[in-house]
Amino acid sequence: MQQKQIKFKKNGIDKLYSRIYNPNMLISKKKKPKFIYIAVLFLVMSVFVSCKPEIQMVEKTDFKLGTICTISLPYGTADEVFDGCFEILDNVESYISRTDPNSEISRINKNKKGPLDPDTFVLLQSSLEMYKESGGTFNPGIGAAVSLWDIGGDNPRIPSDEELASVDVDSKDIYMNMRDNSVTIPSNMEIDLGAVGKGWSANLLRTYLRKEHISNAIINLGGNILLVGMKDNKKNWTIGLQDPNKDTGDSYILLSLNDVSVVTSGTYERFFIEDGVKYHHILSSDTLYPAESDIISSTIISKNSTLCDMLSTACFIMGSEDALEFIKKYDGVSAIFLLEDGSIVTSDNFNYEYEILNENYHMN
Ligand code: ADP
Ligand code: MG
């Protein structure tokens, strides 16, 4: 393992956090006497950009895909390019959102069949591939169970055993019709692409930006990061990964990298607590309860943000030992997991420079 612990310059960090973190947007408006519901949805990670005079970046932020999305592009980029990025995110929402009742996925979940836009069809196909490859751990057909728990929604609750037994989450029951790009699912199943939507969107944005001849960009979709090119064409970007045990905006580690996506899944974002027990939003396909894992922050790094998003969720559920074995079969994919006991484990091919910021954590 080739690991390089170094010290980073940290100019500009606080400023960026305070600009994109708005705590008022994180709190559910409804009062829930039984549940303490905490929704720290937004920043899994934050990007610190210490702007050098050579290339200044300009960022624009909007609330899309149920989270805060920030696009940073070189100074002088036309406003239309920023607008184009946010339009793409609107389009993705109209395809896959489960909160918008008119999205394609919502209509399929309601009618149990329907057409999909060709790109969304391919996304569902890739998700079903990952379902198979991960032995059912990553599960796009888990939506009916997600709906029952409603974690992150208005009425989070522990479903009864009968309710959980009544839903179909076996993604093998999803029928994809290649001739007309339509999908049919059983009456007690719902599709949920929430674990891959932000990664997929980031890939779409990169394709669009390349068409617009933009060669340096940071795409931050609620902490799902995609770095396009290098900072100043010669230096790496510095990325901070959210410390699950600290306030939003506090990183446990800084990483130095370029031209890759960095995606994190964790249980510190969306959960509720009842009778002292924490129930989070990533479910086990076997128990249909929140997955139990030794990982508290599961980060995947690769060029492909869709793959990062799927794998970060799957690896979290698998736990560190199985996850490190599982990702070996994916070329160009590396991982860094923070475990409950404060140890940080990485895949053998993890060779990025880093600096650990929490003295209670240590590299294994
Ligand atoms: P986030 O979307 O919060 O960044 P993830 O990418 O890990 O985090 O996705 C979590 C979401 O994925 C959940 O909110 C839920 O909609 C969905 N989900 C829950 N369990 C699973 C699972 N086993 N496989 C696929 N998707 C899941
Ligand atoms: Mg994911």
- Residue 313 near ligand 1, beta carbon < 6 Å: yes
pLDDT at 323: 98
- Comparing 17-26, 85-94, 251-260, the range with the smallest average pLDDT is 17-26
| Average pLDDT of the residues in 60-79 | 96
Q: Closest ligand 1 atom to the C-alpha of 137? A: 23
Alpha carbon distance 144, 288 (integer Å): 10
| Ligand 2 centroid, distance to 75 Cα (angstroms) | 31
| Ligand 2 centroid, distance to 266 Cα (angstroms) | 9
Q: Closest ligand 1 atom to the C-alpha of 310? A: 6
- Residue 149 near ligand 1, beta carbon < 6 Å: no
pLDDT at 345: 98
- Residue 293 near ligand 1, beta carbon < 6 Å: no
Cα–Cα distances in Å, from 341 out to 290, 338, 344, 360, 363? 19, 8, 9, 9, 11
Q: Closest ligand 1 atom to the C-alpha of 152? A: 14
Mean pLDDT score of the chain: 87
Ligand nearest to the backbone CA of 316: 1
Q: Taking 50 as the threshold, does the pLDDT of residue 191 lie above it?
A: yes
In this structure, the residue with its CA closest to atom 12 of ligand 1 is: 195
pLDDT at 4: 64
| Ligand 2 centroid, distance to 197 Cα (angstroms) | 8
Q: Taking 80 as the threshold, does the pLDDT of residue 270 lie above it?
A: yes
- Comparing 32-36, 99-103, 139-143, the range with the smallest average pLDDT is 32-36
| Average pLDDT of the residues in 265-272 | 87
Q: Taking 70 as the threshold, does the pLDDT of residue 143 lie above it?
A: yes
Q: Taking 80 as the threshold, does the pLDDT of residue 329 lie above it?
A: yes
Q: Taking 70 as the threshold, does the pLDDT of residue 159 lie above it?
A: yes
- Residue 265 near ligand 1, beta carbon < 6 Å: yes
Structure-block tokens of residue 229: 């090119």
pLDDT at 3: 57
- Comparing 9-13, 109-113, 137-141, 170-174, the range with the smallest average pLDDT is 9-13
- Residue 174 near ligand 1, beta carbon < 6 Å: no
- Comparing 64-78, 267-281, 286-300, 339-353, the range with the smallest average pLDDT is 267-281
**Of 54 and 77, the one with more pLDDT:** 77
Q: Closest ligand 1 atom to the C-alpha of 223? A: 4
The percentage of residues in the chain with a pLDDT greater than 90, rounded to a whole number, is 79
Report the 3 state secondary structure along the chain: CCCEECCCCCCCHHHHHHHHCCHHHHCCCCCCCCCEEEECCCCCEEEECCCCCCCCEEEEEEEECCEEEEEEEECCCCHHHHHHHHHHHHHHHHHHCCCCCCCHHHHHHHHCEEECCHHHHHHHHHHHHHHHHCCCCCCCCEHHHHHHHCCCCCCCCCCCHHHHHCCCCCHHHCEEECCCCEEECCCCCECCCCCCHHHHHHHHHHHHHHHCCCCCEEEEECCEEEEECCECCCECEEEEEECCCCCCCCEEEEEEECCCEEEEEECCCEEEEECCEEEECCECCCCCCECCCCEEEEEEEECCHHHHHHHHHHHHHHCHHHHHHHHHHCCCCEEEEEECCCEEEECCCCCCEEEECCCCCEEC
| Average pLDDT of the residues in 282-301 | 97
| Average pLDDT of the residues in 245-259 | 95
In this structure, the residue with its CA closest to atom 6 of ligand 1 is: 195
Q: Closest ligand 1 atom to the C-alpha of 316? A: 7
Q: Taking 70 as the threshold, does the pLDDT of residue 43 lie above it?
A: no
* All domains in the chain, ordered by first residue: 13-363 (3.10.520.10)
- Residue 104 near ligand 1, beta carbon < 6 Å: no
In this structure, the residue with its CA closest to atom 18 of ligand 1 is: 282
Q: Taking 60 as the threshold, does the pLDDT of residue 12 lie above it?
A: no
* Tens digits of residue pLDDT in 205-239: 999 999 999 999 999 999 899 999 988 778 899 99
Q: Taking 90 as the threshold, does the pLDDT of residue 144 lie above it?
A: yes
pLDDT at 26: 24
Candidate of 282, 295, 310 to mutate for ligand 1, largest count of ligand atoms within 8 Å of Cβ: 282
- Residue 190 near ligand 1, beta carbon < 6 Å: no
- Comparing 81-85, 234-238, 300-304, 346-350, the range with the smallest average pLDDT is 234-238
- Residue 309 near ligand 1, beta carbon < 6 Å: yes
| Ligand 2 centroid, distance to 56 Cα (angstroms) | 31
| Average pLDDT of the residues in 32-43 | 31
Which among 80, 85, 77, 70 is positioned nearest to 214, based on CA atoms?
77
pLDDT band at 42 (very low <50, low <70, confident <90, very high): very low
pLDDT at 25: 25
- Residue 45 near ligand 1, beta carbon < 6 Å: no
| Ligand 1 centroid, distance to 297 Cα (angstroms) | 14
| Average pLDDT of the residues in 149-176 | 96
pLDDT at 9: 63
- Comparing 96-110, 116-130, 262-276, the range with the smallest average pLDDT is 262-276
* Tens digits of residue pLDDT in 307-327: 999 999 999 999 999 999 999
pLDDT at 268: 82
Name the residue type at position 283.
L
Q: Closest ligand 1 atom to the C-alpha of 224? A: 4
- Residue 106 near ligand 1, beta carbon < 6 Å: no
| Ligand 2 centroid, distance to 282 Cα (angstroms) | 9
